[in-house]
Amino acid sequence: MQARFLCGVTALLLPGVAAAQNSRPATYITAEQVKQVNALPGVDRQIVNVDVGNTNLAVGVVHRGRTGAPPAAAAGGGAAPAAPAPPPEPCGEKGAVPAGSATGLWHQGQTETYVIISGSGTLVTGGKVMNGRKSAPDSQVTKVLNGPSCSGSIVGDDVVKRVVNVGDIIIIPAGTPHGWADIPDHVDYLTVRPDPQRTIPDLYTNPALLKK
């Protein structure tokens, strides 16, 4: 990978304000690199997680296929079967779930900004998670993607369903449930994830971008 991916930017300091500057290197992610990561197996692929001073900031790219289609195969092959995972810890509220409720999740520390880059779908936000399950401490969701999260059915009178299309931007605050109700063909989106609590302490660069 060329050095252009993560490179420093020389700051131009004005006289008299240099002492107040706390310059950090900028992070460049090219369109080609977004496409490269989006072509990898799976659904949600983190691109980077960087320390920007007052927060960690992650950028990922997500590909979701048509509603009802079989899930995309994960990378691997030939690995020994994993040991059975312990049952997930419950979270959210308990109770009856109305038929047709969407499924989704909320994140403890991450606010997410979605930028739709391909396709369209019906996004669900708001409400509350019912009969939820906490993400496992050693899961990819917790350690790489979103930090501690709670997934389950999304219900409530304040649930919002909106069709989103290419170019739309959605800001989802930490703690707000979100998920997809209907995707006619596919939807791809960039997700920008500030993490001021640093619920994901480890910095990250997608391994595919480190290969030469």
- The secondary structure of residue 6, as a DSSP letter, is B
The 3-state secondary structure of 122-143 reads EEEECCEEEEEEECCCCCHHHH
Q: Which two tokens stand for residue 199?
A: 């619920």
Which residues on neighbouring strands pair with residue 91, listed in sequence order? 132
Q: Is residue 6 part of a domain?
A: no
Which residues on neighbouring strands pair with residue 179, listed in sequence order? 124
Cβ-Cβ contacts under 8 Å for 69 (sequence gap 6 or more): none
Is the predicted pLDDT of residue 86 greater than 90, yes or no? no
Question: Between 83 and 41, where is the model more confident?
Answer: 41
Q: Is residue 98 part of a domain?
A: yes
Cβ pair 187, 98 in contact under 8 A: no
Q: What is the pTM of this model?
A: 0.83
Number of structural domains the chain divides into? 1
Q: Report the C-alpha gap between 85 and 13 in whole angstroms.
A: 53
Q: Is residue 18 part of a domain?
A: no
Q: Is residue 182 part of a domain?
A: yes
Q: Which two tokens stand for residue 205?
A: 């660069």
Q: Report the C-alpha gap between 148 and 84 in whole angstroms.
A: 21
Q: Is residue 103 part of a domain?
A: yes
Is the predicted pLDDT of residue 178 greater than 90, yes or no? yes
Please give the residue range of the domain that contains residue 190. Answer: 25-68+88-209
134-163 pLDDT, tens digit each: 999 999 999 999 999 999 999 999 999 999
Q: Is residue 76 part of a domain?
A: no
Write the CATH number for 174. Answer: 2.60.120.10
